[in-house]
Each structure stands twice: as structure tokens, then as C-alpha cells.
Amino acid sequence: MKYAFPENFWWGSACSALQTEGESQGSGKGLTTWDHWFATEPNRFHNGVGPQNTSTFYQHWKADIQLLKQLNHNSFRTSISWARLIPEGTGEVNQEAVTFYNQVIDELIAQGIKPFITLFHFDMPMAMQEIGGWENRDVVAAYARYAETCFELFGDRVMHWFTFNEPIVPVEGGYLYDFHYPNVVDFRRAATVAYHTVLAHAQAVRAFRAGHYPGEIGIVLNLTPSYPRSQNPADVKAAHHCDLLFNRSFLDPVLCGEYPADLVAMLKAHDQLPACLPEDSALIADGKIDLLGVNYYQPRRVKCRDSAINPQAPFMPEWFFDSYEMPGRKMNPYRGWEIYEPGIYDILINLRDNYGNPRCFISENGMGVENEQRFIENGQINDQYRIEFISEHLKWLHKGISEGCNCLGYHMWTFIDNWSWCNAYKNRYGFIQLDLTTQQRTIKKSGEWFAATSLNNSFD
């Protein structure tokens, strides 16, 4: 069967500034929390490899954009580094960064590739973290000024803006489960960070609308469908709570302009609501987006708790559910995440039926593989598993579109093997293999497959 996609479908991939640029301590860039954390605790990073060790996009941008062209991308998402553009988070703009981002944006456009720009992809300027990061409302205002600076500088050419990438991840990583700086484990502080991120998003949207910039503004959310173990009411309720905390805490504000009432009630009942100001509801209502980016990797499998909650224990999301390993689930044998292709369809149907069918696209989907060099054949990585991964997801995406879902494109994570947070280079995701020693780039089989699919706007 032939799977054909709508005209002008967005084919491309995504990456982020910190994961690709390099030049992390040069060219006027300020430090991020990642640079600081690596300097203080390098052993937290896989093989002790930190954010200075990347695919050096800062130097290679022109050649890399040629490779994007070779992959037949018509669109590409990367982020602006707040700390590169405004090294102290507020105040002076780094002109070298302006030149760099202007060159990248102009070259993408010249090559017929639409630039999709994220404003915040996990990389908090250290100067902002030192005054409390997202816990401090002053940082919300500083972020809005940074966003406005970007709109002013690049808004005549960038037509697709995203305020945040996966905003729930810094909440989980930095304030609940200890896998991002500042390594806090405290639900109330996590809730404040999440709440202030929503306010920051809304402030940026307000600034965008007030400035009458062309194009559209959205956000990228990692949506993880929560599937209950059974239809037993206790399991269903557990999955609902999980969905409220990890998906709807961002999805509802940005699409409906308000929080789900049952999330508010649930947090209130446990005395975990963050402090709000009377003007916040109007601000959140103004944060409604034009375009939703959906990152989909894997679902959550959820059941009701097996054991009673210890009321002395600190409050955590797990008070409401247990995760479990569904028997027979399909696993990525090269990394250990579940692969569940229909999840992408379920997300789209949920958006269609419960959120008014917003304009959206798949902004990340990808398969991380450890020790991928073992698949080299005649000098090229033969990643048939990735081709299968993509095509199986695309089939479900195609089904969603044929049933009326408003999905405009599909971006893979990622274009070239890149540095990934604490995992560094453990899991390779790229269409292009990166030799870290020589910086040589070699297109993998999946890159060739994707280039043909994008060109034909279809696959068999």
C-alpha cells in the first residue's frame, strides 16, 4: 500500500542549540546550568562527556544545512540559546550570536528549508538560575524580554516559533526525579516551576501578538499517553491522574487557556497549589497557541497503587499511580524504551476529539540506539530498525490524518547524532552518523530512506 501525505507536508527533523552548537564557552556565550553542572559534577554525565563536546554546528552550520538539503528536509527545528544571545539572561545582547543565528536562518531559507525556532530547550542561563530559575517570577519577565528580543531580531523571517520544548522535562528532571540541575526533589517547588513556565509561555505569546509579528507561535510538548492496566475504575483513575500531571498540566493551558479543574482540585486537596496572583488567569488565557508540536517517544503504562501511601512521606506524583511493565509490550532492543506506534494516533485523536482539532505536527519521534557502530556495513550504518520504526509510526500518523486530524508534518529526532544531556552520546538518534574524533558525517540508510520519502511525499 502507498502512504501519501497531504500537499506541503512538513518533512524534517529537530535538534537544539546546546546539543549541537558546541562553542559552549566561547564567542561571547554565557554559561548555562548544563555548563555549570558539568564543571561541578562531570561524573553525572555518560563517560564524563559534557556539553562542550558536540557536532560543532557553530562551525559546521553551512555544511550541515547542505546535508539537511540532501535529506530533502523542507523544514527544520533548532533552538536559540538564551545564554548565547543574552549572556547574563537580561541586558546586553551578544552581537556574535546575532550574526550566527542570522546566518543560520538566512541559509536555511535560501536552501528552501523553513526554520522552526524554539526559544527554550532545557538550557537555562546560569545567571538566571542563580536568582532562582523558574521559581522566581523575575525570570518569567526576563524570559519574556528575551523572547521579544528574538521576535525583533529574527521575526521578519522566522514564521514558526515555539516558546518551550518539553517544559515538563525540566520540572521532572530538576525538581522531582534528580536528572537535571538543580537536582531538587520537592513537589511544591516543582509545581511552582511548572506554573511559572506556563506564565512565561503566555507572556511570550502576549508579546508576539502585541508586536504583530508575521507567522505563528506555539509550544512543543512531549505527550505520553497514559494507558491504564485495565478498565477497572481504580486503574482508569490512576491513568487519569497521571495524564493530568504529566500531559494536561501544559496541554490544557496552551490549548484551552486554563488548567483542568480536576488537576487544580487534586493539588488543592493536598495543599500543593503554587502561589498565584489575581492577574494570572487572564495571562494564561492569552497564552493560547496557533500551532502545537507533539513529541512522541513512548507511552506510560499505569495502574492503581498496590500499597497504601505513607502519609509521612513527601508528596510525589506517585501518590496517585504505579507504573508497571505491560506483559508482551514491544521494546526497543537497542535502548530499552517501549515502542508503541498506535500511541501517535491516539494522541492525534485525543487532540481532534477533546481539544478542537488544533493545528499540530509531530515535532519529535525517534529511536535511540546504543553502540550503533556495530551495524556498519561498507562504511555506512544500515539502520533498517530505524526505517521500520519511522514507517510504522508514519502509518498510524497517516491513519490519523485520513480520519481528519489536523497534523501538518513529521519531524524526527534527529538530523545528526548529537549530545544528549546526561546520556551524552550513549544513544544515537541521527539520520547522519557522527564520528566524534574526526567530526566526519556519514548518512545512514535511514537518512536515504527519509530523503526519498520526503521527496515523494509518500512511501510504500
Question: Using CB under 6 A as the criterion, which residues of the chain lie in contact with ligand BGP when the complex forms?
Answer: 16, 165-166, 169, 222, 295, 364, 368, 413, 420-421, 423, 427
* Burial class of residue 287 in the structure, from the number of CB atoms within 10 Å of its CB (0-12 exposed, 13-18 middle, 19+ buried): buried
Closer to ligand BGP by Cβ: residue 247 or 427: 427
CA dihedral (436, 441, 444, 450) positive or negative: positive
Which residues make Cβ contacts (< 8 Å) with residue 265, sequence separation at least 6? Answer: none
Which residues make Cβ contacts (< 8 Å) with residue 236, sequence separation at least 6? Answer: 228
The one catalytic residue among 21, 107, 364, 372: 364
Closer to ligand BGP by Cβ: residue 259 or 375: 375
Neighbours of 279 (CB within 10 A): 8
Q: How far is the CB of 297 from ligand BGP (least distance, A)?
A: 7
Nearest residue relative to ligand BGP (C-beta): 420
Annotation says 364 is catalytic? yes
Q: How far is the CB of 364 from ligand BGP (least distance, A)?
A: 6
Neighbours of 457 (CB within 10 A): 16
Q: How far is the CB of 451 from ligand BGP (least distance, A)?
A: 22
Residues 113, 11: contact at Cβ < 8 Å?
no
Closer to ligand BGP by Cβ: residue 76 or 413: 413
User: CA-to-CA distance for 386 and 447, rounded, in angstroms?
Assistant: 10
Q: How far is the CB of 409 from ligand BGP (least distance, A)?
A: 17
Annotation says 166 is catalytic? yes
Q: How far is the CB of 13 from ligand BGP (least distance, A)?
A: 11
Cα 402 off chain centre by: 26
Classify 207 as helix, strand or coil. Answer: helix
Buried-state track 53-89, b at ≥16 Cβ within 10 A, e below 16: bbbbbbebbeebbebbbebbbbbbbbbbbbbbbbbeb
User: CA-to-CA distance for 427 and 47, rounded, in angstroms?
Assistant: 12
Q: How far is the CB of 198 from ligand BGP (least distance, A)?
A: 18
Distances from the Cα of 320 to the Cα of 268, 289, 314, 323, angstroms: 14, 30, 13, 10
The one catalytic residue among 23, 166, 172, 372: 166
Torsions phi, psi for 252 (to 5 deg): -70, -45
Closer to ligand BGP by Cβ: residue 180 or 303: 180
Q: Residue 114: which H helix or E strand, with range?
A: strand 114-118
Q: How far is the CB of 34 from ligand BGP (least distance, A)?
A: 11
- What grid cell was written down for 315? 508528596
Closer to ligand BGP by Cβ: residue 54 or 222: 222
Closer to ligand BGP by Cβ: residue 87 or 167: 167
Closer to ligand BGP by Cβ: residue 86 or 294: 294
| N-term to C-term CA, the chain | 6
- Give catalytic residues, as residue numbers: 166, 364
